[in-house]
Structure 1
Amino acid sequence: MKIILKVLLTAVAVVLLSKLLSGVSVDGYTTAIIVAAVLGLLNIFVKPLLVLFTLPATILTLGLFLFVINACIILLADKLVDGFAVSSFWTALLFSILLTILQSIFYSVLGEEKTD
């Protein structure tokens, strides 16, 4: 149940950011839900491979290269989902940073408790 709620909260964040940023467009709420699901799947399957392959660059930049990887994930979602468009790499970078901030705010509302 929490996974569905997280996807819906991410979809709300995608819609909000598409209204805030001029370089990001989403056709509708259904497209935003699809984008949220695709981003989740890409973060599960593709992102770990990208992190592994770019580990030296990530270490050299003290982790800042992870922002580039997140922007690449956003651009990949742009190519995979019709109705979702990001105009440039820099817009994708800003979108990924703002999306992360919004997700952390929204997920804190869920009140997930960590167990040891």
Structure 2
Amino acid sequence: MGFFLRLLLNALALYLLSRVYNGVSFAPGTDVVSVVLAALVMGIVNALIRPVLLLLSLPVNVLTLGLFTLVVNGAVLWLVAQVTALNVAGFGAAILGALVLALISWLLDALVTALGLDGRRG
């Protein structure tokens, strides 16, 4: 899947998250550019900071059989909210929001794949 398609899907997923879950929202008057910027920051944080957090939390993650990854994903969402127009009600809301965001992203990815928009030939 191309970079821009992935970026737009992530922006759509963040927007849908803010519509479905009250714990995560965008600042009033936020435009499309701010939503795409939040998705871009989310991608950068997922690529650079999330692996470090997962590595540092590896012992706890092993003890919890991987469930601590939800906390790491919530921390990533909370961190993105600190530097963008995204608002998160609290850390608990960030954890639940990250779980809902993963579900929305999975559904959008499945839809794009089913429609054949991902560029794969099959």
Q: TM-score, normalised by structure 2?
A: 0.85
Flag the 1:61–1:6 CA change in 2: closer, same or farther, 3 A: same
Whether 2:90 is the aligned partner of 1:88: answer: yes
Q: Note the residue ranges of structure 2 that are not aligned, 5 or more in a row.
A: none
Picking from 104, 107, 114, the partner of 2:106 is: 104
For 2:53 and 2:107, the matched residues in 1 are separated by 26
- Runs of 4+ in structure 1 off by over 2 angstroms are 109-114
Aligned letter for 2:51? P
Aligned position for 2:23 = 23
Aligned position for 1:65 = 68
For 1:49 and 1:11, the matched residues in 2 are separated by 24
Alpha-carbon shift at residue 103 of structure 1 (Å):
0.9
Aligned position for 1:54 = 57
- Are 2:23 and 2:97, in contact at CA under 8 Å, matched by a contact in 1? no
For 2:23 and 2:109, the matched residues in 1 are separated by 25
Aligned position for 1:2 = 2
Q: Note the residue ranges of structure 1 that are not aligned, 5 or more in a row.
A: none
Q: How many residues align?
A: 113
Indicate the RMSD between aligned Cα atoms, in angstroms: 1.7
What is the aligned-residue identity percentage?
A: 31
